[in-house]
Amino acid sequence: MNKSDLKPARVFEQFAKINAIPRPSKHEEKMIEYLSNFGKEHGLETHVDETGNVLIRKPATKGYENYPTIILQSHMDMVCDKLVDVDFDFSKDAIQTYIDGEWLTAKGTTLGADDGIGDAIELAILESDDIEHGPLECVFTRDEETQLSGAEGMKPGFMTGKYLINLDSEEEGQIFISCAGGMGTEATFHFSREEAPKDYFFFEGSVKGLKGGHSGDDINKKRANAIKVLGRFLYNENEKYGIRLVSWNSGKMHNAIPRDGKIVFAVSADKKEEVKADWNQFAAQVEDEFHVTDTTMQWSLKSADRQPVVPEAVSTNLIRAVQAVDNGVFAMCQEEELSWLVETSSNIASIKTEDDQIVIVSSQRSNVKSNLLNEANSIKAAFQLAGAEVKQGDGYPSWKTDANSPIVQTAVEAYKDLFHKEPKVLGIHAGLECGLFSEKYPDIDMVSFGPTLRHVHTPDEKLLIPTVQMVWDHLLLILKKLSK
């Protein structure tokens, strides 16, 4: 397959333009400017709210003036992650894409199809003059990937449509009608560094090449978490030898499973050979434990320069806390028809060391509000017991649409008409902005779908090219059918 085979061409043309625009979360200014200019250049009513969300209205085509207004919605920011040895600046460099069989991917970075492909679909519809549809509101929200602050900051009345189609799902053939809610927990360990005992030997250990993934969609796939893996090693060694921590850095995004990490620690010099042996044995055991999901682990342990260390009590408490905190799936849905769906989970997402503090970020998800709070409080309590300063945000709500609502039924019927098979109508453990919209706009009827993506939030992210045409055809038929 070559670039001339990318269909629909108008969507991939827009996607290429989007991927030339820097758009990290919280730094979407250039994308906001691009979208605003796009609307105005095409003579369309365009609004930017005080949060930075962009809305572009397009009138109905002839014969569809009496159709209800449909909102098409996607987010403009992207997760910015790259391979450790790739030189790339997400604040100015364009994403470099290439075709690998039926997949579109990027050279050493995240692809940005989450949710750039949703943006591209909206722009292609706005630019077209040969698509039949009722009144449209195309909405592009900012900062979805970190705090959903675009959707959170949107005021009631910005959108006026009766139906909303969220284009931020990642499996063609699946129509999502519910999502999990979530919270974030941040633990900070404060300290004043001190000199290690004179006879201590310093190590630098690292692991990389883990698969990682989305902390919602992939949390049930038993993928190794770099922070938890390194935490296990540190815990074992601390219990045996009383190590002193210098630094610990791993993970970047709150909604990604960390793929690599580095620790610097010190141990009594007479124990350094035992530590080396333990490292080799531990690495082999972990590789065997994750031999199905993480087949490219790379381990390194080498000497490091002598440097100030974290005080013993703080070092020990932090290591014990990381060992103790829950990570992964906590509970599955209780309903028999949803027993395959994760109900509640937690992901320890990043750890960052500065001169006088170490900050640990984790995220909890659940479609049951009481269990979300329970899981978040469990994480909070573990870090509090370890002496950390703990902060939690308000989080975001879960969402559920009636499976028999007009937009769900229309989406199902349109899919069957096109592809002669039933789509799956599902819930998703990831968070979607639909949860926040459902609070601000309780009367809007919503669904979510999109083309097939794999390994989102990682440099392995890829888009299954043929599914973009399928989603495009499906969406256009819904626009024609949804007349209630």
How open is the CA angle 93-105-39, to the nearest 5 degrees? 60
Which residues 6+ apart lie within 8 Å of 302 measured at CB?
Answer: 203, 204
Which residue in the list 77, 170, 294, 445 is annotated as catalytic?
77
Kindly report the backbone phi and psi dihedral angles of residue 462, in degrees, each rounded to the nearest multiple of 5, phi listed first: -150, 155
Backbone angles phi, psi at 135, to 5 degrees: -60, 135
Burial of residue 62 (CB within 10 Å: 0-12, 13-18, 19+) is exposed
- Which residues, other chains included, contact 422 with Cβ-Cβ below 8 Å and sequence gap of 6+? 412, 415, 416
Between β-strands 70-75 and 54-58, what pairing exists: parallel, antiparallel or unpaired?
unpaired
Give the residue among 77, 94, 92 at the shortest CA–CA distance from 31.
Answer: 77
Q: Under 8 Å CB-to-CB from 209, ≥6 apart: which residues? A: 259, 260, 294, 296, 297, 298
**In terms of DSSP bridges, do strands 261-268 and 328-332 run parallel, antiparallel, or are they unpaired?**
unpaired
Whole-number Å distance between alpha carbons of 348 and 351 = 8
Element (DSSP H or E) covering residue 301: strand 298-303
Within 13 Å, how many C-alpha atoms sit on residue 464's CB side? 14
Q: How far apart are CA 332 and CA 326, in angstroms?
A: 15
What span, in angstroms and rounded, lies between the C-alpha atoms of 113 and 382?
A: 36
Which residues on neighbouring strands pair with residue 138, listed in sequence order?
56, 72
Kind plus residue range of the DSSP H or E element containing 75: strand 70-75
Q: Exactly one of 114, 119, 144, 445 is catalytic; which is it?
A: 144
DSSP type of residue 113: H
CA dihedral 179, 183, 184, 185 (to 10 degrees): -140
Is 144 among the residues known to form the active site? yes
Phi, psi of 59 (to 5 degrees): -65, 160
As a whole number of angstroms, the distance between CA 107 and CA 113 comes to: 14
If DSSP codes are grouped into helix, strand and coil, which group holds residue 361? strand
**Residue 49 appears among annotated catalytic residues:** no
Total count of residues recorded for the chain: 484
Please say whether the beta carbons of 74 and 67 come within 8 A: no
φ/ψ of residue 266, rounded to 5:
-130, 150
* Strand (E) or helix (H) holding 310: none
Tokens for 251, please give them.
């993970």
As annotated, the active-site residues are 77, 144
